[in-house]
Structure 1
Amino acid sequence: MLIKPVPSPDAPLELLLEADPSVDEIRRYLENSSCYVTTIGNETVGAYVIQPMGDGVYELMNIAVAPAHQGNGIGAKLLEHAIKMAGKPGARRLELGTGTFGYQLAFYQRAGFRVVAVERDHFLTHYDTPIYENGIQHKDRLRLAIEY
């Protein structure tokens, strides 16, 4: 498995849609971000997007693994890579936003992320189509962070 940077215009949009259902949102944040992909052979099986926010703060905008390759530790390796990439000298914190429930929350907490804020109604105001997981609609977004 190889993790390498790709130019934002070459980011695997279909794969990133696994984690963020809005093409418009993905295109918006790709403009000022770095994208990394992981491949097995010639197949792109995972990706993440990280954006500098200023003052030593970075945000993990998206992390996704192809459905056929989920559950094999690829996401954990991508997250570990993102934490290292953002933790360069001068970095203070890596942040991300996620739903208030679901497997993603536990995934990030296992890696050491902690809740720092709640953004009420984020998914209601930023997405045209409701987002459901396990029959429950996502409404609020949690902000999580790792301090360096």
Structure 2
Amino acid sequence: MPTDPDAVADAVAEVHTASWRTAYAALFPADYLRGPLLAERRDLWRARLRTPVQGAALFLAHEGEELLGFVYLEPRADGRVLIDNLHARPGHTGRGIGGRLLRHALAHVRDVHPGRDAYLEVLQGNTRAVAFYERCGGRRTASRVCRFPQGFELPEFEYTWFPGAGDGR
């Protein structure tokens, strides 16, 4: 894997975009998925890596030079830690990459942010991810509508892992 922050950001953005285009094909507007999504994701990841939020962490799963997946954690003002973006490269899902990344993320929260809840938000229509988070011990703690800045809305669930409640196995 490259070590240059922009090269890392570009690799993460490519996996992020490919994952969204696959997982959200039936959920997001097609013109949005076909549009400048890669450029948006690249800008997001370059900004995150150039000016990191205090306490944020990015963990990568790779084989050689190929990025297979990633997870990003960000402490929030409410005292919880958001698991924001957990993605495996399409074509490599079902190989345990997501489970390993989630377990690593939860262990990181336990060790670096003791006593804090870890949570994530997942689109309700992403039934594969919903089932995965439930198998990994997440507890559904909220249901709401996610408003995207591109002008569309989709229902989402929040899943939480509470301190001492398990490690996502």
TM-score of the two chains, using structure 2 as the length reference:
0.67
Match of 2:62 in 1: 39
Aligned mates of 2:73, 2:66 — CA distance in 1? 21
Question: Unpaired runs of 5+ in structure 1?
Answer: 131-137
Cα distance, 1:69 vs. partner? 1.3
Aligned mates of 2:131, 2:43 — CA distance in 1? 23
Aligned mates of 2:79, 2:16 — CA distance in 1? 25
Q: CA RMSD in A?
A: 2.9
Structure number, greater radius of gyration = 2
Structure having the higher helix fraction is: 2
Map of 1:4-83 to 2, 5 A cutoff? 9=6, 10-11=8-9, 12-17=12-17, 18-19=19-20, 23=40, 27=44, 30=48, 31-32=52-53, 33-54=56-77, 56-83=79-106
Question: Unpaired runs of 5+ in structure 2?
Answer: 25-32, 164-169
Structure having the higher strand fraction is: 1
CA spacing shift, 1:73–1:129, aligned 2, 3 Å: farther
- 11-20 or 67-76: bigger deviation: 11-20
TM-score of the two chains, using structure 1 as the length reference:
0.75
Mapped contact 1:49–1:62 kept (Cα < 8 A)? yes
Q: % of aligned pairs identical? A: 21
Q: Secondary structure at the match of 2:76?
A: strand
Deviations 1:58-116, CA, capped at 9 Å, x for gaps: 00000111112111111111111111111125332001000124100011111110111
* Number of aligned residue pairs: 134
